Chains A and B, each alone.
Chain A
Amino acid sequence: MSVLSLIRRGAAVLAASLALGSAALAQSGPLVSTEWLEKNLSDPKVRIVEVSVEPGIYERGHIPGAQNIAWHTDLVETVSRDIAGPEKFQALARRLGVDKDVTVVLYGDNNNWFAAWGAWVFDIYGLRDNVKLLDGGRKKWELEKRPVATNPVPAKASSFTVGEPNKALRARLTDVVATVEKTSDARILDIRSPDEFSGKIIAPAGFQELALRAGHIPGSVNVAWARAVNQADGTIKPVEELKKLYAEAGIDGSKPVITTCRIGERSSHTWFILSRVLGYQAANYDGSWTEYGNVVGLPINNPAGTVWGGK
């Protein structure tokens, strides 16, 4: 091999590694674009993980190299109605090859509903700045006709060690009651549909998990989660628009925010926007309406006047 070709090869390797490094660095925010992700599919320091609602959708075609999380078994304790415990999460992260020095890109169907919920759980266990959402999720990836694969690629297991859960990111019933009793200055942001918020309906049609009462937590404000999303491609709206959207409801980052919905999953989408995109202090209340609305003796607001009882 000539000296010239050696130099040429060395330069090429250097340029490639610089390009990779700068690409990874360029994505310092909480979102990555589909374009960036396609360019970085083979980067060993990028780990792509799908968290979709619909079972079987990952298996029938996913972003090449992506791993899969089944949210209803992997990220929860099914019997105690809790997020996955530290040991379970650690085992999952290791299996997925996730660690603090790896850029983790989460994506899924339904405008990243459950991908955002995944990011919330990841954050609780100490994986925050290196965890990103694919802006637009599956929807945009498919719209742009980018490649999908069906063959599984085993991930090289990591040696991730789980930290103490970050309790500041998770609101419990007592935190919510404290705002109702005005012993806390946190604001409650309810992201359900206006009809659920007003108490016209208990839950959208077809959902099994219900509360006995309809309405909302006193003092909470309503911004439906989907208003933060461009419906055309599922991407999250620009920062200025988001700030304006939430400021109109009195959420401007000056006070801590608690996001809530029916079971705490849609609200994690808004939590992600407030906490990660806008940098507000936000916690997600995963007990949500199915917990609060069912508690004996707690006050609720029910503008629609649908009160629990017989006919």
Chain B
Amino acid sequence: MSISDDSGALDYEPARRQAGAEPIRLPPLRFTAAAIVTAAIAVSIYLVGRHGDPAPQLQLSLILGAAFGFVLQRARFCFFCIWKDWLDRRDPRGLLGILTALAVGLAGYTLIYGAWLPDPSGVRLPPTAHIGPVGLALLLAGLAFGAGMAISGSCISAHLYRLGEGSPTSPFALIGAGLGFILGFLSWNELYLLTISESPVLWLPRQLGYGGALLAGLVVLGAAAWWLLRAGRPSEQETANNAPADPVAAIFLRRWPAWLGGFFVGLIGVAAYLRLSPLGVTAELGSRSRQLATVLDWLPARLEGLDSFRGCATLIRDSLLTPNGLFIAGLVAASFAAALAAGEFRPRRPNGGHALRGLVGGALLGWGTVFGFGCTVGTLLSGISAGAVSGWVFALGLIVGTTVTLKLGRRLRLLD
């Protein structure tokens, strides 16, 4: 039976019949709740477009945030869970998803760079791209962030989308991250003078040209993918997941394949860079923490050079609505709607363990974000896409920090 009509387009009914699927029947309560949240997002998008200042930027931030939250939830794109899948089960699928996101990002950024800065060999860097200083502090940031992921169970972007799933740890992790930000600002001046002020800002296209940097990046990603496919074990779930599904179920109910999630994550990253600023999820959290600490008079009068670096800026903003704030709001709300529809919104009452792991892990995430100028999204994804060496170094610190903390924590029976 063909599932295409005469023009070759997918014909929904035959596809559904072939999948042998029952017609989709969402429980009315779940469906209604998801529809209400979706409508609220739509109304917010409309209102921000009418009353925002500057309306286009704020509106697009909200839209891209919602798209990002939907994709993260549907693909369960959690950097730590993906790494744990590999460590524990040699399941390469999630990591292949991350590699996909990086490859799409790298290609997209290169395309944009060609128009914005045709010659990369001069003294300039492409505007606003997350290209940070490479040195000891960045490595420490990666290690701390990795440890924070292992302890709290997610990175910051995943805590945000898991907030929408009702995770009991995520609220504490985000509060902990706020505290970690403040600890980061408190230790900033020392580390800045010790190492960051002399760390070079390395941008690969300057040395290799756009073609060379793209090729080198894709070769590294391709080699990693090849190795993962060779060394990984096929998952038992894979065959079940490959069974044809009702198209609606495939989008809204079933977990997306990681590569598809990665593809969209990369694409949203490129869209955000083209129209707004590089993708990042910590600017709002960082600047609000800084605002709070400034009001409480906890911070030194000056944070040397902090605001002169690129990345998820923590500059204090006066306005109530900021692009990154709306991005985060859209992310959490869309993840909530997606989780409701898929039956993955399962709020649990947090216990002491959730709170402790959230706060401690979150603090490490926050501290790492200050010195990494971003997190898995702002530095790893947006940095590697941008051709920044800082993205790769942060990734390296992250892998080591997560693995060591997880193994040590399990040996001490503190982590599962």
A60 touches B315 (CB 8 A): no
Mask: chain A, 133-151; 1 = CB below 8 Å from B; 0 = not: 0000000000000000011
B127 touches A59 (CB 8 A): yes
Task: Known A56-B277, A73-B123; judge A152-B116 contact (CB<8 A).
Answer: yes
Closest to A150 in B: B115
Mask: chain B, 248-277; 1 = CB below 8 Å from A; 0 = not: 000000000000000000000000001111
A297 on interface, CB distance cutoff 8 Å: no
The number of inter-chain residue pairs (CB within 8 angstroms) is: 23
A206 touches B315 (CB 8 A): yes
Docked pose: A151 CA to B116 CA in angstroms: 8
A55 on interface, CB distance cutoff 8 Å: yes
Mask: chain B, 101-119; 1 = CB below 8 Å from A; 0 = not: 0000000000000011010
CB distance from A70 to the nearest CB of B (A): 7
Closest to A55 in B: B127
Chain A residues whose C-beta falls within 8 Å of the C-beta of B128 in the assembled complex: 55-56
CB distance from B334 to the nearest CB of A (A): 24
B124 on interface, CB distance cutoff 8 Å: yes
CB distance from A78 to the nearest CB of B (A): 10
**Which range contains the number of A residues in contact with the other chain?**
10 to 19
With beta carbons under 8 angstroms apart, the residue of A55, A58, A60 that contacts B274 is A60
Docked pose: A152 CA to B113 CA in angstroms: 11
Docked pose: A152 CA to B127 CA in angstroms: 14
With beta carbons under 8 angstroms apart, the residue of A151, A206, A208 that contacts B115 is A151
Docked pose: A138 CA to B288 CA in angstroms: 30
CB distance from A107 to the nearest CB of B (A): 17
Question: Which of A55, A70, A151 counts the most B-chain CB atoms under 10 A from its CB?
Answer: A55
Q: Which residues of chain A from 46 to 64 have any CB-CB distance to chain B below 8 Å in the complex?
A: 55-56, 58-60
Docked pose: A56 CA to B315 CA in angstroms: 17
Question: Which of B115, B123, B315 counts the most A-chain CB atoms under 10 A from its CB?
Answer: B115
Docked pose: A73 CA to B124 CA in angstroms: 9
A152 touches B118 (CB 8 A): yes
Question: Which of B116, B123, B276, B315 counts the most A-chain CB atoms under 10 A from its CB?
Answer: B116
CB distance from A94 to the nearest CB of B (A): 16
Chain A residues whose C-beta falls within 8 Å of the C-beta of B274 in the assembled complex: 60
Mask: chain B, 274-287; 1 = CB below 8 Å from A; 0 = not: 11110000000000
Chain B residues whose C-beta falls within 8 Å of the C-beta of A151 in the assembled complex: 115
Q: Which residues of chain B from 303 to 325 have any CB-CB distance to chain A below 8 Å in the complex?
A: 307, 315-316
Docked pose: A151 CA to B118 CA in angstroms: 11
Docked pose: A56 CA to B128 CA in angstroms: 6
Mask: chain B, 238-251; 1 = CB below 8 Å from A; 0 = not: 00000000000000
A70 touches B124 (CB 8 A): yes
CB distance from A84 to the nearest CB of B (A): 14
Subset of 6 A-B contacts with CB under 8 Å: A56-B127, A56-B277, A58-B127, A70-B124, A206-B315, A206-B316
**What residues of chain B have their CB less than 8 Å away from a CB belonging to chain A?**
115-116, 118, 123-124, 127-128, 274-277, 307, 315-316
Q: A55-B128, A152-B116 are in contact. List 6 more A-B contacts (CB 8 A).
A: A59-B116, A70-B124, A73-B124, A150-B115, A206-B316, A208-B307
The 10 A-B pairs with the shortest beta carbon distances in the complex, nearest first, are: A56-B127, A56-B128, A59-B116, A55-B127, A59-B127, A152-B115, A55-B128, A151-B115, A60-B275, A150-B115
